[in-house]
Structure 1
Amino acid sequence: MQTVVLAAGEGTRMRPLTADRPKPMLPVAGKPLVAHTVETAIAAGASRIVLVVGYEADAVRTYFEEADADLDVPVTFVTQDRRRGTADAVASAVPALDDGPFAVLNGDALYEVADLRSLFESGPAVGSYRVENPSAYGVLERGERGYLEGVIEKPDDPPSNLINTGAYVFPAETRDRLDVAESDRGELELTDALQRACESVDVDVVPVDRWLDVGRPWELLEANEWKLADLDTRVRGTVHPDATITGDVVIEDGARIKSGVVIDGPAYVSAGATVGPNAYVRGATYLGADTKIGHAVEVKNSVVDDGSSLGHLSYLGDSVLGRNVNFGAGTNVANLRHDGNSVAFTVKGDRVSTGRRKFGVVCGDRVKTGIDTSINAGVRLDTETTTGPGETITRDR
């Protein structure tokens, strides 16, 4: 099944992590988010991949050009010049497609191999998933025979809890109708193209057992929790004899684990990273390339991206740090509300519930904190934010 993967979005809901890079390139268990989507599609039977890129396209293209030898299928890149919706993105990929049906996947979502295999075999089809709050998604309507009748975008009164996963198989004739799939917003949306396909063919609604739309910062934690749990232990870096490693832990070549370190997996330590001495890493934690976790630092269930440093006497829990962040000595992050309610976070100007009882800070690239900074749960620090010595940060900056 030839497969189009959409990786051109700017990821505004993922700010501040996407201020300087596309969302599909955010790190998940040692590789970009979009790489997991592509590799799952290939394992499910994708015969070729057409990657639609846009914002910061070179980052996506460079990664896959270097990884191409390991993918075993052709990979083609198409740049989406216009920003007029998902159908427009797929329309830009049509010249690179062969004749016949084609699949479309969102490059910022995670799927299971078995689910995509079922989808590919059932086309024309759309992947479906049941959620508790369907009003935040596109809700699928099915007819008496179970086939798709339509998609209702973010309804106030959803007819069901069955939502669209952004995974499709389209019949060949759909490619000629993408440019007329215009929504009320004036954008060319795939769901409108899908509804037009329903007028002439039966579109199957295929349930998926597991799916994650990685659209907001705490969902990047969920993505790492998912994929780190699938890893097997692989130690290629240098580990001091006095360090303790338990659970499934990947330590890449060039990483250094110093004396007194305890790592309770699942965890991933990238090339060039140093941990310790006397540091504690636990939970589903990802440490990017050239990161530094220093003396008496504890990192729990977090993503620490390339080049970031927590050098001395700090705590980081259930948090996401962008690239080249520096925590001054004694910087501590709260990750739990006293009332036990879910932590809220700011997304596109609105405070929304993360649904997580524990959630700490999200730092954009190049944030720097002064010594003894205290950061409250659910705080967002935008790119290049700084704090002074001894500050207590209770609001976004």
Structure 2
Amino acid sequence: MEPVTECILLAAGEGKRMRPLTTSRPKVMIPLANRPMLEHLILAGKEAGIQRFIIVVGYGEQAIREYFGDGSRIGVEIDYVVQRKQLGTADALRSAEGLVSGNFLMMNGDMLLSADEIAEFCRMPIPALAVSETDHPEDYGVVLLEGDRVVNLEEKSKNPKSRLINAGAYLFSLEIFERIQMIGLSRRGEYELTDALMGYINEGSLFAFCLRSWMDVGYPWDILAAHELFLDALQAENLGTVEEGVVIKGTVAIGEGTIIRSGSYIEGPCIIGKDCIVGPHAYIRPRTSIGDMCHIGNAVEIKNSVILNKTKIPHFNYIGDSVIGSGCNFGAGTKIANLRHDYTVVHVGGIRTGRKKFGAVIGDNVLFGINCSVNTGSLIGSGCRIAPHSFVDGVYDDETIISR
């Protein structure tokens, strides 16, 4: 069998479950350890032998095109095709017809997968579907197997018959394009790839490959688990300036142009981007990711959090187990709580995070006055303005003005 060297990546969706982080960027461009999640997937594919990627873009496509270009920066070939309306996975695949030359890999762009497993999957008989085991299969499409063959696919069910779910990675020949031409709209008004797969299932020809490393990044709190994975594999690096009196323990990567001022204490693994100012007397705790051009100032403590580019947390702030968008500014003394008094799992907007320690999700360009308090499980939309001494608790839409 000829090696699989081409891959179609589905990256046209907005990622509504990721709001407010997708207000100004497509989901696949949300950074994990200071790289867009899509870049992690492309680099894994490259290591597995994929040479050419066709990215199906739509929402926020310009951000993807500008960042990746033709792929030469990261040593691959990248082409783009546009899915203007989100009419389902089969429609997204159909938009790439004619752009692949033979057997190909297809993956959702918002998942994480190791290079070893991509390479192993690409050696499967064709057609093949990647599956993964989960403890909450009711949130996904469920897969039923007999041996190494798929015998049924179930839509999201309250009583799933299996713990195996469709992981969003497929191995196809060009024949799949003939099959998707024959399907109609589903009950949801979309062209579903699962409808095309049912033909293979009825023929007994759809193989299953069980993944071990797969991770779905569906909600903002999943970002914490995902970036922890990458930080655990981080290589220490210092391209910035570290003043005397700074303590660095563990694996820490510091970007070019960044200054770590005296008295700061940094515990790895953590990553700090380019052109940041940290300190004096800042405390950066393990599994924290700080983007480019951020300011983490005097007597600020940050623990197990993701801070996107150009955010300023400059005076006497505490950020714990949170995801903070870009361009935010925290007034002096503003703090985020990350643990309930009853020690139960934190919910955000009624959705279970699965984490006993979780602070807040904060969108882009949110401005806090001084001495604000943000409760566990809060979600603050992009562009919100929060008055001094405010108590923030719950879910707030973009551009909300929050006062005491």
* Fold shared by both chains (TM-score > 0.5): yes
Q: Tell me if 1:301 matches 2:300.
A: no
Give 1:376 shift. Answer: 0.3
Secondary structure in 2 matching 1:40: helix
Mapping of 1:214-225 within 5 angstroms?
Answer: 214-225=217-228
Deviations 1:264-320 (A, max 9, x none): 111111111111000011121111111110000001111111110101000000101
Partners of 2:261 and 2:86 lie apart in 1 by: 48
2:114 counterpart residue number: 112
Partners of 2:182 and 2:364 lie apart in 1 by: 40
1:385 counterpart residue number: 384
- State which of 15, 34, 38 in structure 2 corresponds to 1:11: 15
**C-alpha root-mean-square deviation of aligned residues, in Å?**
1.3
Secondary structure in 1 matching 2:348: strand
Secondary structure in 2 matching 1:51: strand
Q: Which amino acid in structure 1 is aligned with residue 174 of structure 2?
A: A
Partners of 1:125 and 1:325 lie apart in 2 by: 44
2:163 counterpart residue number: 161
Give 1:249 shift. Answer: 1.2
Mapping of 1:34-113 within 5 angstroms?
Answer: 34-65=38-69, 68-98=71-101, 100-113=102-115
Q: Which runs of 4+ in 1 moved over 6 A?
A: none
1:265 counterpart residue number: 268
CA contact (8 A) 1:174 1:197 kept: no
**Alpha-carbon spacing, 1:223–1:331, altered in 2? closer, same or farther (3 Å):** same
Partners of 1:126 and 1:319 lie apart in 2 by: 34
Partners of 1:370 and 1:232 lie apart in 2 by: 37
1:353 counterpart residue number: 352
**Alpha-carbon spacing, 1:81–1:394, altered in 2? closer, same or farther (3 Å):** closer
Secondary structure in 2 matching 1:94: coil
Secondary structure in 1 matching 2:326: coil
Secondary structure in 2 matching 1:41: helix
Decide which moves more: 183-192 or 288-297: 183-192
Q: Tell me if 1:335 matches 2:338.
A: yes
Decide which moves more: 183-192 or 103-112: 183-192
2:402 counterpart residue number: none
Q: Which amino acid in structure 1 is aligned with residue 312 of structure 2?
A: S
Where structure 2 has 5 or more consecutive residues not aligned to the other structure, the ranges are 397-404
Q: Tell me if 1:254 matches 2:257.
A: yes
CA contact (8 A) 1:118 1:206 kept: no
Identity %: 39
CA contact (8 A) 1:258 1:275 kept: yes
Give 1:172 shift. Answer: 2.1
Give 1:119 shift. Answer: 1.1
Partners of 1:194 and 1:358 lie apart in 2 by: 40
Give 1:50 shift. Answer: 0.6
CA contact (8 A) 1:232 1:248 kept: yes
If each structure's helix is expressed as a fraction of its own residues, which one has the higher value?
1
Give 1:395 shift. Answer: 2.3
Partners of 1:343 and 1:248 lie apart in 2 by: 29
Partners of 2:80 and 2:178 lie apart in 1 by: 20
2:153 counterpart residue number: 151
Partners of 1:225 and 1:193 lie apart in 2 by: 36
Q: Which amino acid in structure 2 is aligned with residue 26 of structure 1?
A: I
Secondary structure in 2 matching 1:283: coil
Q: Tell me if 1:372 matches 2:371.
A: yes
Deviations 1:300-349 (A, max 9, x none): 11111111010100000010111111100000110011111110012xxx
Give 1:192 shift. Answer: 2.0
Q: Which amino acid in structure 2 is aligned with residue 126 of structure 1?
A: L
Give 1:201 shift. Answer: 5.8
- State which of 301, 316, 319 in structure 1 corresponds to 2:319: 316
Secondary structure in 2 matching 1:24: helix
Give 1:195 shift. Answer: 2.1
Partners of 2:206 and 2:342 lie apart in 1 by: 46
Partners of 1:228 and 1:188 lie apart in 2 by: 38
Give 1:241 shift. Answer: 2.3
Deviations 1:188-232 (A, max 9, x none): 122222222334462221111121111110011111111111111
Secondary structure in 2 matching 1:104: strand
Decide which moves more: 197-206 or 274-283: 197-206
Deviations 1:237-279 (A, max 9, x none): 1111211111111111111111111111111111111110000
Partners of 1:186 and 1:374 lie apart in 2 by: 43
